[in-house]
């Protein structure tokens, strides 16, 4: 049966799938548009499932700040090339529109929404694993101020909620959080496992120094204090003025940090590197 170009275009407009895939579906379904549409939807789910095991460590962040909540989400692709594709950008805009309309607390809520079908269709269109990896939503009252920062490449972002102060202050601190990546608000909030790991490293360093036990203990104590001051947001030097700490900045504005979040695209994902020869061999299989 002859498949007309107009039929292929119509199916392409309906699905966003590549022209060749649309034509194949129409041929298989004897030109029946509805059956071809169902076939492509089925294939998109199958392809999405097959590609789900592939590492998606690139992509972008999206931030929404409303009157009651702010959401920061990481949307991943396998490559930076795909992250710049118009179809991927349109998908991230759809995600942004959704978190603007609905308060979403975790990624699973998006996986059960209309966004999931769009994600699967996108996997088929661009041929890469696309994932909604992480999402952080912070709630706040009308008396609080919220600031956000998104780096120019949309791969690093932060949101800060403060009481007292104003949005300009919250935005400055959000920029600081993005740049300095604090592990906790104050020293007492740090994960005990992280602290113990650092302490073990300092103990080995102290023992290698060959100094008396009393001196070694002071060395370890001093290094732990310095480490805590470096990873605790309140004790870090302000990114825009290294003469003052974040705590001193807040005190000068009678403000307090209520919550903060920071995401960096691909952070914590291990990406296997391949040589050119390995990539060629893989393509020839």
> pLDDT digit string (tens) for 162-210?
999 999 999 999 999 999 999 999 988 999 999 999 989 998 888 888 8
Instruction: Report d(CA 95, CA 271) in Å as an integer.
Output: 25
Read off the DSSP letter of residue 163.
E
Closest CA to 175 of 200, 191, 156: 156
SS3 of residue 160 by DSSP: strand
What is the average pLDDT value for the chain, to the nearest integer? 88
- Chain region(s) in the chain for CATH 1.10.286: 192-229
Where does 5-50 sit in CATH, by number? 1.10.8.10
Of residues 72 and 45, more confidence is placed in 72
Confidence check: pLDDT of 1 > 60: yes
**Phi, psi at residue 233, to the nearest 5°?**
-55, -50
What average pLDDT score do residues 148-152 get? 97
User: Which segments of 208-274 are extended strands (E)?
Assistant: 237-238, 241-245, 256-264
How many other CB atoms are found less than 10 A from the CB of residue 66? Answer: 13
**Contact of 174 with 260, CB cutoff 8 Å:** yes
How many other CB atoms are found less than 10 A from the CB of residue 250? Answer: 22
Question: What pLDDT shows up at residue 46?
Answer: 47
- Tens of pLDDT along 108-147? 999 999 999 999 889 888 888 899 999 999 999 999 999 9
Q: Given this structure, which CATH class describes domain 58-181+254-264?
A: alpha beta
Question: What pLDDT shows up at residue 216?
Answer: 87
- Chain region(s) in the chain for CATH 3.30.479.20: 58-181+254-264
Question: What pLDDT shows up at residue 67?
Answer: 94
Instruction: Report d(CA 191, CA 228) in Å as an integer.
Output: 11
In the chain, count H helices and then E strands: 12, 8
Q: What are 197's two structure tokens?
A: 């790991």
Where does 192-229 sit in CATH, by number? 1.10.286
Question: What pLDDT shows up at residue 237?
Answer: 96
Instruction: Give me the sheet containing 69-77, strands edge to edge.
Output: 58-65, 69-77, 131-139
User: Which segments of the chain are extended strands (E)?
Assistant: 58-65, 69-77, 131-139, 144-150, 156-163, 237-238, 241-245, 256-264
**Model confidence pTM above 0.85:** no
Side-chain half-sphere CA neighbours of 211 within 13 A: 12
Confidence check: pLDDT of 48 > 60: no
């Amino acid at each position: 049966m002859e498949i007309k170009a107009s039929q292929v275009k119509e199916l392409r407009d309906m699905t966003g799938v590549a022209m060749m895939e649309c034509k194949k579906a129409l041929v298989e379904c004897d030109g029946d548009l509805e059956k071809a549409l169902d076939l492509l939807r089925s294939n998109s789910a199958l392809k999405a499932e097959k590609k789900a095991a592939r590492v998606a460590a690139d992509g972008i962040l999206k931030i929404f700040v409303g009157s009651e909540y702010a959401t920061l989400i990481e949307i991943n692709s396998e490559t930076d090339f795909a992250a710049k594709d118009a179809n991927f950008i349109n998908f991230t805009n759809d995600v942004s529109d959704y978190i603007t309309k609905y308060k979403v607390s975790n990624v699973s809520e998006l996986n059960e929404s209309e966004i999931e079908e769009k994600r699967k269709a996108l996997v088929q269109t661009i041929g890469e694993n696309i994932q909604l990896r992480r999402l952080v939503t912070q709630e706040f009252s009308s008396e609080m101020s919220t600031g956000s920062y998104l780096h120019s490449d949309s791969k690093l972002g932060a949101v800060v909620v403060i009481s007292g102060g104003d949005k300009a202050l919250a935005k400055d601190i959000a920029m600081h959080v993005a740049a300095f990546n604090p592990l906790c608000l104050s020293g007492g909030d740090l994960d005990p496992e992280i602290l113990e790991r650092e302490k073990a490293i300092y103990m080995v360093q102290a023992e290698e120094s060959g100094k008396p036990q009393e001196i070694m203990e002071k060395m370890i104590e001093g290094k732990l204090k310095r480490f805590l001051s470096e990873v605790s947001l309140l004790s870090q030097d302000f990114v825009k003025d290294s003469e003052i700490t974040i705590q001193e900045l807040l005190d000068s504005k009678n403000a307090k940090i209520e919550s903060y979040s920071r995401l960096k695209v691909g952070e914590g994902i291990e990406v296997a590197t391949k040589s050119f020869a390995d990539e060629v061999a893989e393509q020839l299989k």
